[in-house]
Amino acid sequence: MASSTASCGQMHKITDGSVHTPLGFKATGLHTKVKRKRKDLGAIVCDVPASAAAVYTLNQIQAAPLDVTRESIAEEGTLRAVVVNSGQANAVMGKVGVADAYEMRDRTAQAFGLEPLDVAIASTGTIGERLQMEKILPGIEALHPEANPASANAFAESILTTDTCTKETCYATEINGKTVHIGAVAKGSGMIHPNMATMLSFVTTDAAIAPEHLQQALSEITDRTYNRITIDGDTSTNDMVLTLASGKAGNEPLHPEHPDWQPFIQALQCVAEEQSKQIARDGEGATKLVEVNVKGAPTDEDAGKIAKQIVGSDLLKTAVFGTDGNWGRIICAIGYSGVTINPETIDIAIGPHLTLSQSEPVNFSEEAVTAHLKQDEVFIDVELNIGDGSGKAWGCDLTYDYVRINAGYRT
């Protein structure tokens, strides 16, 4: 078994690219003093109505901004702007939270010269604290990208909570002879165990594509990317992935029967996978990215489920932190994943080192495995030998800092 990394095929990575790179988009962020020092309010705007698609958390407790954004997208399937605050999540605030969310949207529309239904909103931060509207509303007035140096990095910074770094990605690909860009910005880094959606991630593209086809593409790749990461097993109340397509690349509109549909899906998946890995790597307190690759499962879905169970095991995560090649915790997680396996035919490798073959322990070099576990990217490969399904999942180690951050920070 060999470790694997994401394959982005023919795609061209744009260094320093972000959500502003696709034609038609600007982004910005500023500091309203809700947070002590870091930027806390940001926006992405598109100079034309962009096709819009989103996936949301499946948590039954959903923050007010999600409903407001759903309403804006439902109207015509297009958006002109999204505004995001960090610090308070505007979740579980009852009627006052709903009113604040609508005011946030409506005041943005007013300030940007748009209709309310052109605007999406998102919030992240502490549950059960009221938005500091006395700071956010003046912030919105000052937020117009014409009034600010447009900066995708400022936007990426403005949406962070316990994250230690911004998470930006951009790739270019060819779609029927036109260059199409896909850029994205995300934030983590706790309460991360997405289910049909995830944390916050904003994806822009200049591809031409109708809203319903953009939604189809987003839903398809979400199950293989954002939904395959876990930091702590807690599915947030505020998770959302929002995708905007300006159409400015000038390609023929994409749809599932278009010959370039699959290349577009792959491009979108490539960006989403890179965002997912950025989030996992910056999990609260994390020192390492862990990628688990499961093969030989009954189905791809089963493989993904097992991979996510392994990468979500607190015991595996502490073993990775302690650089302990403890494959017993890996097979234990395989056994309780809920997928029917054959207990007698399992192979497990840590990095390139086989530790279990056909469910029998293999003599391996503890030093070599420890050396692999000391790297900042750890690969675990599992071969179940019962089918053709495969799938990956990403997570991080569980460290003293995770406890420190969460014994103090109120999310």
Q: Which helix (H) or strand (E) holds 290?
A: strand 289-297
Nearest distance from residue 314's CB to its own copies, in Å? 4
Among the listed residues 198, 235, 237, 355, the single catalytic one is: 198
| Nearest to 139, CA basis, from 111, 106, 162 | 111
Residue 2 lies near its own copies (rule: CB under 8 A): no
Token readout for 20 is 């502003």
The one among 48, 74, 165, 403 contacting its own copies by CB under 8 A: 403
Q: How many residues bind its own copies (CB under 8 A)?
A: 62
Count of Cβ atoms closer than 10 Å to residue 212 Cβ:
12
Residue 132 lies near its own copies (rule: CB under 8 A): no
Residue 386 lies near its own copies (rule: CB under 8 A): no
The one among 21, 51, 59, 276 contacting its own copies by CB under 8 A: 59
* 182, 205 Cβ separation under 8 angstroms: yes
Residue 56 lies near its own copies (rule: CB under 8 A): no
Q: Which helix (H) or strand (E) holds 69?
A: helix 64-76
CA distance 44 to 66: 17
- Enumerate helices (H) and strands (E) in the chain, giving the number of each: 11, 15
The one among 313, 381, 382, 389 contacting its own copies by CB under 8 A: 313
Of the pair 61, 165, the CB lying nearest its own copies is at: 61
Residue 387 lies near its own copies (rule: CB under 8 A): no
The one among 15, 16, 36, 410 contacting its own copies by CB under 8 A: 410
The one among 126, 164, 216, 266 contacting its own copies by CB under 8 A: 126
Q: Count Cβ neighbours within 10 Å for each residue of 372-381 and write b for 16 or more, e otherwise.
A: bbeeeebbbb
* 379, 3 Cβ separation under 8 angstroms: yes
Interacting span for its own copies (CB under 8 A) from 116-124, 149-157, 197-205, 352-360 = 352-360
| Nearest to 351, CA basis, from 325, 318, 333, 385 | 325
Q: What residues numbered 225-264 form the site for its own copies, per CB under 8 A? A: 232-237
Residue 128 lies near its own copies (rule: CB under 8 A): yes
CA distance 201 to 383: 32
The one among 45, 83, 93, 122 contacting its own copies by CB under 8 A: 93
**DSSP percent split of the chain into helix, strand, coil, nearest 5:** 35, 25, 40
CA distance 362 to 64: 53
* 406 among annotated binding-site residues: yes
Q: Strand, coil or helix: what is 293?
A: strand
* 161 among annotated binding-site residues: yes
| Nearest to 218, CA basis, from 18, 77, 329 | 77
Nearest distance from residue 335's CB to its own copies, in Å? 3
Residue 92 lies near its own copies (rule: CB under 8 A): yes
Interacting span for its own copies (CB under 8 A) from 136-144, 185-193, 217-225, 257-265 = 185-193
Amino acid letter, 392: K
Nearest distance from residue 233's CB to its own copies, in Å? 6
Residue 329 lies near its own copies (rule: CB under 8 A): yes
Nearest distance from residue 385's CB to its own copies, in Å? 15
* 284 among annotated binding-site residues: yes
Within 13 Å, how many C-alpha atoms sit on residue 394's CB side?
Answer: 27
CA distance 403 to 357: 35
The one among 13, 33, 47, 58 contacting its own copies by CB under 8 A: 58
* 199, 236 Cβ separation under 8 angstroms: yes
| Nearest to 253, CA basis, from 203, 210, 204 | 210
Nearest distance from residue 327's CB to its own copies, in Å? 6
The one among 113, 149, 177, 408 contacting its own copies by CB under 8 A: 408
Of the pair 213, 317, the CB lying nearest its own copies is at: 317
Is residue 340 part of the annotated active site? The answer reads no
- Is the torsion defined by CA of 303, 397, 182, 159 positive or negative? positive
Annotated binding site for substrate: 161, 187, 198, 284, 406, 411
Residues annotated catalytic, as ranges: 198
Where do contacts with its own copies occur on this chain (CB under 8 A)? Answer: 58-62, 89, 91-95, 126-128, 190-191, 193, 195, 232-237, 312-315, 318-319, 321-322, 324, 326-329, 331-336, 340-341, 343, 356, 359-361, 398-400, 402-408, 410-411
